[in-house]
Structure 1
Amino acid sequence: MTTRQGNLLTDHPELYEARFPDPDRLAARWAEDRLRHHGAGPRVLDLGCGTGRDAAHLHAAGRRVVGADSSEAMLAHARDRHPGPEYVHADLRGFDLGERAFDAVVCLDSAFLYAHTNDELDGLLSSCRRALAPGGLLIAEMRNGAFFLGRTELLDAPAVSRFTWEGTAYRAVTTLHVDRAAQLLRRRRVWTADDGLPPTEQHSAWRLLFPQELRYALAAHGFTVLALHDGPGPRTEPPWREGDPEPGATADGDRLHLVARLAAS
């Protein structure tokens, strides 16, 4: 089979939103709830903002939001479809937004885990520290590396998904495997469509961070962990409800939720 290389959803943000419609803006609502719970000020950096939906939700909640992403296609879509925030190009593994100071950095949907190496993770956390005002918050939700210790249900067989957008039917076959040496969850996804174009093959990966490893890295960069748990959160069961208190420090589920505060001085 001849395939094109690329990222169908990142290169075509309108397809991303069709595949993941998210009408309730669950991740953004969870982030806003945590911002209020922990008394964050109004200035928010949405790091890895993608199509801008979450940034726009935070903006509508009264935040002064800057959305940052490394994909120019995503940023162009965000400016056109989800106005309100300011959108800027930045690589989360190392960025400098100048003299701006934010009250919180929000990093949703496993964007945090695109820092694959220790140097890249240090670059991410150093950049967040530089961007935050003293006492600022780091709020993130991501896949949980500890989930894959002896668990194989997400790895045993390919997952197939389908959706239709503007009359074209799309089908994705997704295979996950754990690269233990690199400590990465690698994903191979092959997209086909009934429009006659060749299939598109996409490769991506997430860092598998373990909870105690994450605590250690955060402490090294001046952060105190306020909450680190597997649920409830925007993509977990039982469902998260606005106003829920932080649960205990459990970490057996697929998703990990983080709230950390930068030292006040």
Structure 2
Amino acid sequence: MSLAHVIEDVDEDPHRERDFYEYPTLYEFYHSRVLNRDAQVRLLRRYEPEETSRVLELGCGTGPLLTRIEDEYETVLGVDSDERMLRRARERVTDAEVQRADFTAWSAADEGRTFDVAVLLGGMLHLTDDADVESLAENVHESLRDGGAFVTFFQPLSDDVTNGSTDCRTVESERFTVERRSTTALTSAAGHYTTTYAFVLRDDAEGTEATMGSVFRGRFHDPDRLRETFRAAGFGDVDVVDGDGPAVLRAVK
């Protein structure tokens, strides 16, 4: 579905609450302009073990990382639980494998496979339950060879988290403009939050416009609790690296 068709679809029923992920084209258009995909590749290369040849990406989405690295490793596998996103990923990749799987319930070991490195880029905010984080840690541990590494980034729960924060971003091409307005509110002391989005989509060529509402429920994570969870799963070396923006968690089996 093209972005023009997304606008038509939203305009036909503008009051229905929608899932941002049901429109992979919109997802790609927006995130390709606000996320630094090259920085994600650098993160992988910074923390991968020596002589890495097998890479596993959890929550691969539409495959932007897979397409950047598939020519550089012997095996690249991306898994995601959303078939809508995977359909687009399959169209984009050439050598990488793409598989539907919920990484809180699946490990590569279930299929007799292991990897040198596993990455989860942006998916931690979806893991709102402690049990899901524990399952992720256990499944990643099983999916890695001895000495293999896992790396992810997350928004840490801290006193700096502003309750009721608002944000507005606009991205555009020669034809389309997408404006995203958001309001985020904490809903628990454990870091759960709800973000309400309004996407304003414009097609300048056709002179059409539609507004789409969406609600996301995510979680900020406590760094110390994440360390404990991954150590309990069997990782011998777990570290959290703070910086500007998201924190990075690295765990070595």
TM-score, normalised with respect to structure 1 = 0.78
1:167 and 2:175 correspond: yes
1:117 and 2:129 correspond: yes
Contact 1:160 1:174 in 2 (8 A): yes
What's the CA shift for 1:174?
0.7
1:102 and 2:115 correspond: yes
Structure 1 counterpart of 2:72, from 61, 70, 84: 61
Question: Which of 190-199 and 39-48 deviates more?
Answer: 190-199
Structure 1 counterpart of 2:54, from 43, 57, 60: 43
What's the CA shift for 1:24?
5.4
Determine what percentage of the aligned residue pairs are the same residue: 24
* C-alpha RMSD of the superposition: 2.4
Structure 1 counterpart of 2:212, from 183, 193, 200: 200
Gaps in structure 1 of 5+ consecutive residues: 237-253
Residue-by-residue CA offset, 1:111-158 (whole Å, 9 max, x unaligned): 023221111112111211221222221111121223xx1442xx4542
**C-alpha separation in 2, matches of 1:11 and 1:50:** 11
Q: Which has the higher helix share?
A: 2
Contact 1:28 1:55 in 2 (8 A): no
Gaps in structure 2 of 5+ consecutive residues: 1-12
1:15 and 2:38 correspond: no
**C-alpha separation in 2, matches of 1:56 and 1:131:** 22
**C-alpha separation in 1, matches of 2:155 and 2:94:** 29
Contact 1:103 1:133 in 2 (8 A): yes
The count of residues paired between Structure 1 and Structure 2 equals: 233
Q: 1:24 to 1:137 in 2, by over 3 A?
A: closer
Structure 2 counterpart of 1:217, from 229, 232, 236: 229
**C-alpha separation in 2, matches of 1:121 and 1:142:** 12
Structure 2 counterpart of 1:184, from 189, 192, 216: 192
Contact 1:93 1:115 in 2 (8 A): no
Q: Name the residue aligned to 1:257.
A: 248
Q: 2:98 aligns to what SS in structure 1?
A: strand
1:134 and 2:125 correspond: no
What's the CA shift for 1:198?
5.2
Residue-by-residue CA offset, 1:66-116 (whole Å, 9 max, x unaligned): 00111112111111123321000111222144211111111112x023221
> Which residue identity is paired with 1:256?
A
Q: 1:91 aligns to what SS in structure 2?
A: coil
Q: Which runs of 4+ in 1 moved over 4 A?
A: 195-198
1:70 and 2:81 correspond: yes
